[in-house]
Amino acid sequence: MTAVEKRGFFRMDSTDYRTLIDPSTTHAGLYSQAGVYAKGDGVQFRSAEGDRSHPKFFHEAVRISDGAYLLMTELSPTDDRSQVQVVDGDDWLHIQFRFRGAGYEHVGERHVVETPERSCIVSRYPDGSVINRKIECADVWKYACLYLCPSAFANLLDIDETVLPESSSWMAKRRSGEFRYQTLPISPMMMAPLSDIFACEFRGPARRTFMRAKSLEILATLTHALDSADMSRSEKELRLNHSDFSKLAAARTFMMDDLEQPLSLASLARKVGLNRTKLAQGFKATYGDSVHAYWRDLRLNHARELLKSGQVSVTEAAFSVGYSDISAFTRAFHNKFGLRPKAFKPSTSNMK
C-alpha cells in the first residue's frame, strides 16, 4: 500500500503501482474525474479553471499494460516536495521526462542522480531499493513518467531482450541486482508524442488506447536515442587494428557455423579473444548490425530455406536454429519476413 509511514516532511511509499490508478484516492483534495477512464484503466485529477480554492493542479495515471503505467503531472507548487519510495517485489524502470521543475534522487547510500529540467532520466531500481526523492519549488512543475517492470518493457516493444542493443538491453533484463541510470536531453522526436499526451481530449477506452500508442512511440524514440548516444560515444572511442578485424571475422564465422546453439555476447567474445565492448562496437561498425541482430538474421534466413525445402516442420525449423520457444520464433520470423513460417512451407499439392 502507498503512504504507509510519515517521518517529518517525508512520505514513505512502499511501491504498489496498482494504487496509482485507484479512483478512491484523492490528490490535492480533488477526486478523480468521472468518465475519463473506465474503472481499473486510469484516473485523472484536475482543478477547475478559475477555482481559487485550489492552486493549478493536474495529475493523470493510466495503466498501459500489466506492469506498465504512464503518469502526467502539471501543477503550481507552494514548497519543495520530498518523498521516500521503497521498491518491492521486482526491479522497476522509472523513465521521467522533466519539462519544468528540477531536483535530485538519492538511491540507497551510494548514488545521487540529478533530475534537471528539459531532460529525460532513465533509471532502473533493483528490488529493495530505497529512493529519497526531492523536487525543488518552482513556478510550475511539469513532467511525465513511465513506470515499467523490465518484462513489460520488452513485451510492449514486442522485442526479445537478447536482440536489443546493449544501450537499452539493460532495461529489459529480468533481474540485474544493480542500480543503473542514464540522462538524455529531451529531443524534438521525444517531444512530439509527449506533447500529444498532454493535449489529448479523448475520453473512455479511446483515451487509454491513445495513451498506450503514444507510450509505445515514446519508448521507441527513447531506445533510438540511447542507441544513437551509444554510437556517438563508440565512434569517438573505437580503435580497431588488423588483429581486431581478424577476430571480428572469426566471430562472424562462429556465428555462421553454429546456428543451433544459444549465443551470448560474452561467450562469443571469449571464443575470439576480444572484450565484450570491442566485439559489440567493432562488429556493428564493420558489418552494419549488432551481433545479436546479425545472428538472428542468419538463423531466420536458414530457417526459411529449411521450410522452403519442405523437409522439416515449423517446430523442427525453429529448433534447428536455436529457438526453443515456438511463439518467439514465429514472432521473430514474421517481423523479419512479413509472413508466418507456415507460409514458406510448400503445400501438399505443390509437392506432388
Can you tell me the mean pLDDT for 247-275? Answer: 87
pLDDT category at 55 given cuts 50, 70, 90 is confident
Largest CA distance in the chain: 82
Per-residue pLDDT, 13: 46
Locate 183 and state its grid cell.
540522462
42-47: which pairs have CB atoms within 8 A and are 24 or more residues apart?
42/207, 42/208, 42/211
Q: Are strands 10-14 and 81-86 parallel, antiparallel or unpaired?
A: parallel
**Cα torsion for 316, 257, 285, 336, to the nearest 10°?**
-20
Q: Which residue has the cell 529493495?
A: 128
DSSP state letter for 159: -
Q: Model confidence at 350, in pLDDT bands (50, 70, 90)?
A: very low
- Sequence letter at residue 231: M
Q: Residue 201: what residue type?
A: E
Distance CA 252, CA 256 (A): 6
pLDDT surpasses 60 at 348: no
pLDDT confidence band for 68 (50 / 70 / 90): very high
Q: How far apart are CA 331 and CA 3, in angstroms?
A: 41
Tell me the three state secondary structure of residue 18.
helix
- The whole-number average pLDDT for the span 214-219 is 96
Can you give the pLDDT at residue 242?
Answer: 85
d(CA 8, CA 139): 24
* pLDDT band, residue 347 (cuts 50/70/90): low
- The residues that bridge with 66 in the sheet, in sequence order, are none
pLDDT band with cut points at 50, 70 and 90 for residue 9: very low
The residue among 172, 157, 265 whose CA lies nearest residue 212 is 157
Residue 197 confidence (pLDDT) above 90: yes
pLDDT of 11: 43
Distance CA 318, CA 326 (A): 7
**Distance, CA of 128 to CA of 89 (rounded, Å):** 8
**CA–CA separation, 262 vs 248, rounded Å?**
19
How big is the chain, counted in residues? 352
**CA–CA dist 293, 169 (Å, integer):** 13
The whole-number average pLDDT for the span 244-264 is: 86
Strand partners, 60: 44, 72
Give the separation between CA 317 and CA 310, rounded to whole angstroms.
Answer: 10
Q: How confident is the model at residue 193 (pLDDT cuts 50, 70, 90)?
A: very high
Torsion sign over Cα 9, 12, 16, 17: positive
Backbone φ, ψ for residue 323 (5° rounding):
-95, 115
> What are the helix (H) ranges across the chain?
150-157, 166-169, 188-199, 205-237, 242-257, 265-272, 276-287, 291-309, 314-320, 326-337, 348-351
For 174, 178, 278, the CA distances from 155, given in Å and listed in that order, are 12, 22, 29
Q: At residue 344, what is the residue type? A: F
